[in-house]
Amino acid sequence: MIQVINGLVYGSFLYVLAVGLVLIFGLRRVTNFAHGSFFMLGAYVSYAAAAHLGFWTGMIVSVAALAVFGALLDRFVFRPLSREEPIVTLLVTFGLLFVLEDAVRTIWGKDYISVSAPEALSGSVTLFGSQFPTYRLFVIAVAIAVALGLAVWLRSTKVGLYVRASSVDPVTTAMQGVDTDRLSALVVAIGTGLAGLSGTIAGPLMALSPSMGGYIIIDCFIVVVTGGLTSFTGAFVAALVIGQFHNLGLVYVPEVASVIPLLIMAAVLGLRPQGLAGPRK
């Protein structure tokens, strides 16, 4: 039972990361290959900021820094390249991945750094008769907050409506008079800000290293594709399922756990090529 909750923790945190990619794809029809590096950068920024300002301020700094970075990315990469083939943007963000990883390695070194949970959450609670770290429950709470926040924002605000419209058809949305460039800057900033958030909450869960982005991006990409690329609900379900099984795999068959998400994805895509909740072709 405790393992199931652990799987929920991992799935929650995958969701926060993957939903950022879903948002970006909705507006720009491209993906950010450097998303894993943004996640890693978010973890390091909050670690550096937390050393002086404490965990919570560090989290805010990290989210804000990554959001600014995302807005710049949209302005100077996604927007100018939006007329090119999508692959051009993929290659450029892939190049960025190399650059960011090297930058982090140069600044913070390549050794593992461990981060402790904030004091208020460092204890543990009794769940189903065994001890469970409070911090992990906090991660689940963050994911629920993100999911609810996004749902409310997308469903009940005008900007949210534009974002949903654009993820169905960006061209028509722009023709209706929506400034998709400004919208996209906002959405990409939220997407990368969420990468900063997930990097921050990942700190106390896993050790920081420049390669942590390369590890997490596997599951993140699999979640996005399995969920159907444009669907927030699809990403949510896929993140929970894949997070769950990957975690159970790590407990029972640690050697081969890394291929479990792939098998789940192959099964889903074999039955539904458009993903769990993707539009039919």
Partner 1 sequence: MSSAVPRDKAKVAAASIAAERRTPTVVLAAGLLAAAGFAVPWVVGSQLALTLMTQAVIHAILATSIGFMIRQNGLTSFGHAAFFGMAAYLMALNGKLDAMPAELAVLAAIAVPAAFAFFAGLIIVRLPALSFSMLTLAVAQSLYELMLRWRGLAGGDDGMAVRLPSRLFGIDIELFQAPSSMFVVSWCALVAVIAILTLVARSHFGVLTVAIRENEERARYVGYHTLVPRALVFALSAAVGGLAGVLFALYNAFVTPGALHWSLSGEALIMAVIGGPQAIWGPALGAVIFFVVKNAMGDLTEHWPAIIGAMLIVVTVLLPQGISGLLNRLNRLNRRSREAGKA
Least separation in angstroms between residue 51's CB and partner 1 is 25
Q: Does 123 bind partner 1 (CB under 8 A)?
A: no
Q: Which is nearer to partner 1, 56 or 98 (CB)?
A: 98
- Which of 8, 45, 62, 101 forms a contact with partner 1 (CB under 8 A)? 101
Verify binding: residue 109, partner 1, rule CB under 8 A. Answer: no
Work out which of 51, 87, 107, 145 binds partner 1, going by CB under 8 A: 87
- CB of residue 31 to partner 1, shortest distance in Å: 6
Give the angle subtended at the CA of 127 by the CAs of 123 and 128, to the nearest 5°. 155
> Can residue 88 be called a binding residue for partner 1 (CB under 8 A)?
yes
Spell out the SS3 assignment of the chain: CHHHHHHHHHHHHHHHHHHHHHHHHHHHCCCCCCHHHHHHHHHHHHHHHHHHHCHHHHHHHHHHHHHHHHHHHHHHHHCCCCCCCHHHHHHHHHHHHHHHHHHHHHHHCCCCECCCCCHHHCCEEEECCEEEEHHHHHHHHHHHHHHHHHHHHHHHCHHHHHHHHHHHCHHHHHHCCCCHHHHHHHHHHHHHHHHHHHHHHHCCCCCECCCHHHHHHHHHHHHHHHHCCCCHHHHHHHHHHHHHHHHHHHHHCHHHHHHHHHHHHHHHHHHCCCCCCCCCC
Query: Given the complex with partner 1, which of 42 and 261 has the nearer CB atom?
Result: 261
Least Cβ distance, residue 154 to partner 1 (angstroms): 22
Size of the residue set binding partner 1 (CB under 8 A): 46
Q: How far is the CB of 256 from partner 1 (least distance, A)?
A: 6
* CB of 50 vs partner 1, minimal distance in Å: 26
What is the smallest separation between the CB atom of 111 and partner 1, expressed in angstroms?
15
Among 3, 106, 172, 176, binds partner 1 (CB under 8 A): 106
Strand-pairing partners, residue 124, are 133
Question: Minimum Å distance from CB 116 to partner 1?
Answer: 26
Tell me how far apart the alpha carbons of residues 272 and 251 are, in angstroms, rounded to a whole number.
Answer: 29
Query: In degrees rounded to 5, what are phi and psi of residue 177?
Result: 100, 10
Figure out which of the listed residues 66, 115, 261, 276 binds partner 1, where binding follows CB under 8 A: 261
- In the region spanning residues 205 to 234, those forming contacts with partner 1, defined by CB under 8 A, are 214-215, 217-219, 221-222, 224-225, 229
Binding site for partner 1 (CB under 8 A): 25, 29-31, 33, 81, 84, 86-88, 90-92, 94-99, 101-103, 106, 214-215, 217-219, 221-222, 224-225, 229, 254-259, 261-262, 265-266, 269-270, 273
